[in-house]
Structure 1
């Protein structure tokens, strides 16, 4: 890695928490958003990690709730001319890459992702240039510029299968940006994987000893873990997978209690899928002390009702995602490569 850049030492300023709205204000903004969606010929797509009231609104208005790539794919297929992306900035960029003809709006362009921030393009270019013999695979949680540098883009749901495929071809891998997911993939496949040392600030805070103690309190509970979590947490899991895979695991596991180690925003859709099961938050570094995010991304929390209404009403530089056309074309190549590969896998 570039000797002058260490993503693990980077400190990301947390955004202020949105002001709490009264019940009357929530009702007002919900009605306003529904009106603006129709007026703008827009559809709303929301990530599993946004707050429940945002997910509910997306569902009520004919939008979708899913992971980042499925959000973009849904938007590309939907006839609406405008997409309102409730998530973080790279998700809006991915939507624009796949739907250049559409207007992509976000509640705020200040909603970032520590994985994206921790992999700046100049430093990543230098890292790749230092290892020209390696195939570059980047996670979807990256900027359009980093995607354009890559040979492949990948999601957590097919990461193991893709790296297994590349390993079978004798290829050595650069993996970016999440080191935990990279190490998980390397362990599952045995491939030669060189990891960029980024991390998700949410998943990085799950703590092994605290989870072991929690398992002792709930001995009959299954543990569901996103692979962006540290290896020691993954090793305690009964199921490991992407957001959608964890929801499926919740449905398929026989356990009546589930300890879930990912952003607590997922609980809304997961509880819908398993209404009779008890969902428990896995402990973070905040147990009995202080925590930076307490299992909820602070940037995802910026997607409030007022911000969504403002984005739909005003658009413009504060809300519209724009991607340079040459950069978009470059990023589309590894994205399409991944989509073509995913289509070959069993459902």
Structure 2
């Protein structure tokens, strides 16, 4: 086993400013979504169902989106899942149009995998701090400085960053992929989430060089808050997403992707769970385990006005209102995902490796 190497790539202040500006836009957009009546919400749901059928379209939604969006996807034969299964579902479905409820990199991934399909999103403003924090120019320079390393990037990245990579992974297969590459004697350059990359490095013992990026939601979970909750609920199982800080991960009974955490809740005999990931996941957990209690892990520190703010503001920008609007005649303008064909072909190679990974490898 080679000596472990963990270094940090540098993110410029300009990149940090870009994340901050995008976060402010998301916050303002979220505040604009005022309360609607039950009649209005039902009217939008019924109209969306009609429009999906008329346009031979299917709704693909992430676990972190609004429960109303998730239930609608289920009711219409769509998909509610993590980003890996979203990609697989969209690529295999016969629909001519994919409606992706999530964040922009998910729409780009769908377009790369199915370039002949129309891919629409309720809003193209829904982005991700990991994506914004890994701009292609800076990332390419980082890769060029370490040409001896296999480039593995998290799915939460732009099409351009994916095109620069050798492998794309989601949190559900990151450990297995890096373990496989390590067994082949390869050294890894990992981007963009330093917490997930650090977790993978610790678990596999691989030689990993880390980019300095993080998720604005998961980075805010507090180890002391989780420990305090565990003292209040001693029988509760602690479920943690590996994008969380190492001090939080070390308190976990189960560390895993969204789908892995859902399966842990479903299959465990425990009746209480402390969950350190976006609160959107509670819809599926409670649906599958109606007799169990799920407690959101704290993100707030002393003096905060909320115990936990574990909601991605960009995921929250997906709503029935803008989902309906994008399906109405003329509503797709400004909501369709486009990826340069040549860039898409390059990005397709590491994405296909991700999708094929469970198959026998050469």
Instruction: Provide the rounded CA distance (Å) in 2 between the counterparts of 1:237 and 1:3.
Output: 29
By how many angstroms is 1:182 displaced?
Answer: 0.2
CA deviations on 1:176-232 (whole Å, 9 max, x unpaired) are: 000000000000011110111110011001001111111111111000000000011
By how many angstroms is 1:337 displaced?
Answer: 1.3
Instruction: Provide the rounded CA distance (Å) in 2 between the counterparts of 1:230 and 1:196.
Output: 15
1:160-171 superposed matches below 5 A: 160-171=175-186
Contact 1:105/1:315 (<8 A) preserved: no
By how many angstroms is 1:272 displaced?
Answer: 1.4
By how many angstroms is 1:70 displaced?
Answer: 1.0
Residue in structure 2 matching 1:119, options 121, 125, 134: 134
2:299 match:
284
Structure 1 unmatched ranges of 5 or more: none
Residue in structure 2 matching 1:150, options 165, 179, 182: 165
Instruction: Provide the rounded CA distance (Å) in 2 between the counterparts of 1:24 and 1:78.
Output: 32
1:100 match:
115
By how many angstroms is 1:286 displaced?
Answer: 5.5
Q: Secondary structure at the match of 2:124?
A: coil
2:6 match:
none
Q: Does 1:343 find its partner at 2:359?
A: yes
Q: Cα gap change, 1:224/1:8 in structure 2, threshold over 3 Å: closer, same or farther?
A: farther
CA deviations on 1:21-47 (whole Å, 9 max, x unpaired) are: 221210111111111101111010110
Q: Cα gap change, 1:58/1:3 in structure 2, threshold over 3 Å: closer, same or farther?
A: closer
1:129 match:
144
2:3 match:
none
Residue in structure 1 matching 2:269, options 254, 268, 288: 254
Instruction: Provide the rounded CA distance (Å) in 1 between the counterparts of 2:289 and 2:307.
Output: 29
CA deviations on 1:31-83 (whole Å, 9 max, x unpaired) are: 11111101111010110000111100110011010011211211121111001
By how many angstroms is 1:293 displaced?
Answer: 7.9
Q: Cα gap change, 1:85/1:292 in structure 2, threshold over 3 Å: closer, same or farther?
A: farther
Q: Which runs of 4+ in 1 moved over 2 A?
A: 1-14, 285-288, 290-293, 314-317, 342-345
TM-score normalised according to structure 1 size: 0.95
By how many angstroms is 1:8 displaced?
Answer: 6.2
Contact 2:298/2:308 (<8 A) preserved: no
Q: Cα gap change, 1:286/1:42 in structure 2, threshold over 3 Å: closer, same or farther?
A: farther
1:311 match:
326
1:13 match:
23
RMSD across aligned C-alpha pairs, in angstroms?
1.8
Moved more, 325-334 or 21-30: 21-30
1:187-198 superposed matches below 5 A: 187-198=202-213
What is the number of residues matched between the two proteins?
345
Q: Secondary structure at the match of 1:310?
A: helix
Contact 1:44/1:64 (<8 A) preserved: yes
1:325 match:
341
By how many angstroms is 1:285 displaced?
Answer: 2.3
Instruction: Provide the rounded CA distance (Å) in 2 between the counterparts of 1:6 and 1:242.
Output: 30
Contact 2:15/2:135 (<8 A) preserved: no
Q: Does 1:89 find its partner at 2:99?
A: no
Instruction: Provide the rounded CA distance (Å) in 2 between the counterparts of 1:155 and 1:123.
Output: 22
